[in-house]
Amino acid sequence: MLPLQTLREDVDRIAEALAKRGLDARPMLDEILELDERRRSLQLQLDNTLAEANRLSKEIGNLFKTGKAAEAQALKDESARLKETSKTLGESLNEAAEALQQALYQVPNTPHESVPAGKDATANQEVHRSGDHPQLGAGALPHWELAKKYDLIDFELGVKITGAGFPVYKGKGARLQRALISYFLDRNTAAGYQEVQVPHLVNEASGYGTGQLPDKEGQMYEVGEDRLYLIPTAEVPVTNLFRDVILDRAELPLKYTAYTPCFRREAGSYGAHVRGLNRLHQFDKVEIVRVEQPEGSYQALDEMVAHVQSLLEALRLPYRILRLCGGDMGFTSALTYDFEVWSAAQERWLEVSSVSNFEAFQANRLKLRYRDALNKTQLAHTLNGSALALPRILAGILEDYQDETGIQIPEVLVPYTGFSRIGGGD
């Protein structure tokens, strides 16, 4: 949610920035300003009414104390009338405030100046591409075939237990996955991110805090009975750690990393592109989250990008980095870099990380503030990124590291897996 303050001060710039998302926000923004105007005018009327009522109450109290109960009665009547007025005003005010809130929820974050305009993925900018692409011989297999051949992942078994998109990892497949989680957590920790373990179900307030609600409830699994949601990403519980918090400047930046499973309904996406590990309802991800002062948030974003890049370099997977265009960016983001790994057997790019700066958009909903140099409370900036999402990394490793007789394990993972090869041909 955009801070109302900046909206009041800078509508033109905001409308202009939102145009990059292919959105004509002007009517929406004008309506918000009108609702805000209305809200404030009602607030003023209510405040004045309450002030008068407060004054009367004190007077009545004094009259009673000095034994002039008779005089008090007239004031009581007046007070009752004010109460009626304030009740009506209060209702109107609530309506106006609610309408304003709803309207504000509809406005996505303003893209950063470096974000290219565009309405879909074709307008994304490739900002980096790694050098080496493995050349696979004829007979190279996609990862779902490899998973079957070496008995690493059983998709059908998952269908039996739960449904499509809930794979069962087995043997070296399971071990490789655990190795990746440990490796990522260790690297993130070494880079100064504190490891946390967080709940995998969150309440409604948390969903609103990071912006999954009210717009994207369809994406989350809901546990109806208790009004809880299975997390679609660790971003939700980790960022909400700081909901309703006022931090000291000295505490910033905050850097956290968490491994969690992620649950996504992914309604309506079926077909060849979702085969195997390409798109799942449950998958594992290691996330990094930062809370920053506004001045430092873009440098932080750069650091996160460099860090994720170093993970992919270490795994020696071919990758590229995209700067997402306005239309392809998430609702809450101001600037997003996507990382994609080249899947040699499928001959396509697979998204393995998304690193974003949300500026004050989430912080505004979260009421995540800090005291600036003048000791004034200000909204902090939040950022997060995957470091990394597991399934497609696993897919990339299986496909890109395969040879005729098996799959080589990336060197940095061997201490974690305890084996250096899947299949034969040592």
Partner RNA sequence: GGAGGAAUGGCAGAGUGGUCGAUUGCGGCGGUCUUGAAAACCGUUGAGGGUUAAACCUCCGGGGGUUCGAAUCCCUCUUCCUCCGCCA
Binding site for RNA (CB under 7 A): 5, 40, 43-44, 46-48, 50-51, 53-58, 60-62, 64-65, 76, 79-80, 83, 246, 369, 377
Sorted by sequence, the CB contacts under 8 Å of residue 94 that are 6+ apart come out as: none
Please check whether residue 46 is in contact with residue 117, taking contact to mean a CB–CB distance below 8 angstroms.
no
Neighbours of 105 (CB within 10 A): 16
Which of 265, 263, 382, 262 minimizes the C-alpha distance to 333? Answer: 382
Q: How far is the CB of 82 from RNA (least distance, A)?
A: 8
Q: How far is the CB of 47 from RNA (least distance, A)?
A: 4
Q: Is 100 or 305 the residue whose CB approaches RNA more closely?
A: 100
Q: How far is the CB of 362 from RNA (least distance, A)?
A: 17
Indicate the pairing of strand 245-247 with strand 368-371: parallel
Rounded CA-CA distance 154/170 in Å is: 7
Please check whether residue 308 is in contact with residue 315, taking contact to mean a CB–CB distance below 8 angstroms.
no
Q: Is 5 or 269 the residue whose CB approaches RNA more closely?
A: 5
Sorted by sequence, the CB contacts under 8 Å of residue 93 that are 6+ apart come out as: 39, 42, 43, 46
Q: Is 40 or 133 the residue whose CB approaches RNA more closely?
A: 40
Q: Is 127 or 205 the residue whose CB approaches RNA more closely?
A: 205
DSSP code at position 190 = H
Q: Is 209 or 327 the residue whose CB approaches RNA more closely?
A: 209
Q: How far is the CB of 237 from RNA (least distance, A)?
A: 16
Q: Is 337 or 370 the residue whose CB approaches RNA more closely?
A: 370
User: How far are the Cα atoms of 82, 364, 391 from residue 220, in angstroms, in the given order?
Assistant: 46, 22, 19
Q: How far is the CB of 76 from RNA (least distance, A)?
A: 4
Q: Is 44 or 121 the residue whose CB approaches RNA more closely?
A: 44
Q: Is 111 or 237 the residue whose CB approaches RNA more closely?
A: 237
Which of 237, 252, 241 minimizes the C-alpha distance to 200? Answer: 237
Q: How far is the CB of 262 from RNA (least distance, A)?
A: 23
Q: How far is the CB of 139 from RNA (least distance, A)?
A: 48
Please check whether residue 335 is in contact with residue 114, taking contact to mean a CB–CB distance below 8 angstroms.
yes
Q: Is 291 or 321 the residue whose CB approaches RNA more closely?
A: 291
Q: Helix (H, G, I), strand (E, B), or coil: what is residue 263?
A: strand
Q: How far is the CB of 57 from RNA (least distance, A)?
A: 4
Q: Is 64 or 419 the residue whose CB approaches RNA more closely?
A: 64
DSSP 33-86: HHHHHHHHHHHHHHHHHHHHHHHHHHHHHHHHHTT-HHHHHHHHHHHHHHHHHH
Q: How far is the CB of 46 from RNA (least distance, A)?
A: 6
Residue type, 109: N
Rounded CA-CA distance 103/101 in Å is: 5
Rounded CA-CA distance 313/308 in Å is: 9
Q: How far is the CB of 75 from RNA (least distance, A)?
A: 7
Which of 372, 383, 359, 382 minimizes the C-alpha distance to 246? Answer: 372
